[in-house]
Structure 1
Amino acid sequence: MQAAVNAAASGTTLNIPAGDCDWGTQQLNVPAGIALRGAGRDKTTIRRIGSVPEARYLVAFDCSNGKRAGFSGMTLIGNGNGAIHDKGLGLLYGCVDFTVADSRFTKFIFSAIEVTGPVKQRGVIYNNEFIDNYSNSLRNLGYGVVVYGDGSWPALELGTQNAVFIENNYMSGNRHHVASNNASRYVFRYNTVIANDLTKDFAMADAHGLSSSPRGSRSWEIYNNNFSAKLTSGRVYAAIGIRGGNGVIFNNTISSDIARPVMLALEGSTCGTYPAPDQIRQAWIWNNNLGEISNGCTASIQLGRDYFTTGKSGYVPYTYPHPLRG
C-alpha cells in the first residue's frame, strides 16, 4: 500500500478494496492531497497486529504541504492490548479542511484518531463509529478523538469554522470519547455517546487545563449530544468534564445514571489561585436536560464571573451539517 501512495499524484483518491488485512507493525504514511477510500466500513478492514512504539499510527496523514486529507469507508482495528499504546489515524502538522467519514475505529489503546499540529487545523469527523478504544488494565489514555494544538494561543472564535468538528458519530466504550490539550479547539455535536462498566469512572467528553502540555485547551463547543450508559452497577462519573479553556455547553441530553452532567475543575494550579493559567474563564452552560453543574474549585471558578448559566450573547453555532460533508 505504501508503494501505491508513493506513486499517487496529488488529488488522487486511492480505493482500498474489500478484504481483511493485517498491516503488522507498519505505519502507512500519506501526504495530504491524497485521499484513502475503502469499500465500506463493513467490507474493508485493516488491522494492527504486533507491538509498536507509542508514536506510531496505523495511518498517518502529513498535512505540512497545506493540502487536504481525506479518509473514509473502512475499519481500523488496534491491538487491544493495554501494554501497547497504539494509535489509529493521525492527522498531523496542521491539517486544514480534512474529512474523516463513514469508518469504524476500535481497540486502539492510546487514541483512535489524533489531530495535532498548528492552531490552523480544522476539518470534520462524521458518521463514524468509535468502539472500545481503551484498556481497563491501563486506566489511562483511551481516546476516541484527541485534539492537540501546538501551544500557540489563538483568539476565542466560537461559532466559526476554525476548530476540529466531531459530529454525528457513534461512540461507545472509550475512556474519553473526545479530549483536548495544548491550545486546541474542538466542536463536539450531534453524537451518540455511551459509557460502560469499564469506562464509567471517567468524564465522557473532556478538555484538559494546564497539565501535561505547555498549554491547556483553548476552546470547546459541546452541544446537541446524547450521553447515556450501559451499566450493571454504579453511575458514570461525568458526561462532560472541563478542566480548562473556554466555550459553550448546551442542548445536551444526559441520562440519570450519569452522576455529574457537567463537571468543572481547576488543573495545574492550587485551588484558590486566580486567575490560574489556562483555567476556565468564559464558559456558558445552558439548556441541558439535567442542569446540575458540579464545581471542584469554587474558590477559582465562580458562577457569574467565570461561568454562566445563560446562553452566550451573540453566539450562533457554525453551519450544521458541516459544509465539508458535501
Structure 2
Amino acid sequence: MSLLSRAYPLTRAALFALDAEHAHELTLAALKKTHACHLTRALVQAGPTPSGASCTLMGLALPNAVGLAAGLDKNGACIDALGALGFGFIEVGTVTPRPQPGNPRPRLFRLPAARSLINRMGFNNQGLDVFLGNVQASHWRRGGGVLGLNIGKNADTPIERAIDDYLLCLDGVHPHADYITLNISSPNTSQLRSLQGHDALDALLSAIRARRKALADRHGRNPPLVVKIAPDLQDAEIDAVAELIPAHGIDGIIATNTTVSRTAVQGQPHANEAGGLSGPPVHELSLNVIRRLRTRLGAETAIIGVGGIEQAAQAIEKIQAGANAIQIYTGLIYRGPSLVTECVQALAGLSTTAA
C-alpha cells in the first residue's frame, strides 16, 4: 500500500474542511505534481497487482477489473498520476467539442452522512483540442495502460443537433482511445437524458455506427464503444437500450451514471440541491439495471458496473449481478486509494474462486 493510501484519512479531514470543488482541484494538482517528480513518485505508486487479477474487457487486456469512472479528470490532465493508484483502466472526460465553463458555482456538494456527493458540474471542460493535447502528452497508454475517453455535447448545442457534437468528438478521440464512451445520461445538461429514448438513441447510434466504420477504414483501428446510461430508467427503457446496443454493434454499457432520486438522503444537508447524486444510494439502483441488462443481452455485450462502490463487497456484488468490470469515483473521495487496492484484491480472489 502506498504512503498516500496510509495518509489519506488524515489528508481527507483537511480537504473536507474546504469547498468540495476547490478540494478536488487541489487534490488533482498535488497528485500530478507528486507523480511528476521522480523523488516523490513512489509516494503515490500502488503496489504490485495480485495474482489472478488480470482480465479481458471488450478485447482489451486489463491488469485488473477496477477502473476510474469519468468525471474526476474531465480534461485528461492527470492521467499518469491517477494511473499510478493501481487502476486497471482509466476513463477521462466528459469532453465537449468546444470549451465551456459548466454551471455556476457552487455546484459540488458533500453529504457525509450518506458518504455521497451531489454535483451539477455541467460538463465543465477546456474543450476537445486541449483534451487531446493532454491525452497525447500522457505516458499511460504508451506504458500499456488502458484509457477510455468519454464524450458529450455542448450545453448550448440544441438537442436536435446533439449528434453533430458526438460525431465531432468521435472524430477527435478515435485515434487516441482504447475505448470510447458516449455519455448520454448526465442530469446536468438540459435534455441530454432524452437521448436514451428509443428513437433518439436509435438515430444517434446509427450515425455513430456509420462514422465508426469510416474512421476504422481511415485509421486502421476500431476501439470499442460503450454507452453510459442512467440508473433512473424504467424497465421498458432499459429493454430498449438492450435492444439497440447490439443492433448497432456497440460493445458495451456503463451502468450507471448518477441519480436524480433523493429518496435515500431526504432531510440531509444539501439533499435538495439540483444535480446528480452519487455514492452508496446508487448501488442498488445500478445493480437492478445491471441485472436486467445482463438478462436481456446475454454474455456477449460488456457491462461496466459503477455507482456506490465504497468497499470490496459492493464491487463483488456488481460482478455477481452481471458486470464484467467496475469503476469507482465517489468511494475514492471518501476512502482514498486504499479502496482501489481493496477492490482489486477482492475481485482477484473472486476470479480465483470462480476458476
TM-score, normalized by the shorter chain, greater than 0.5: no
Relative to total residues, which structure has the larger strand share, 1 or 2? 1
What TM-score do the two structures reach when normalised by structure 1?
0.29
Q: Select the structure with the greater relative contact order (CA < 8 A; seq sep ≥ 6).
A: 2
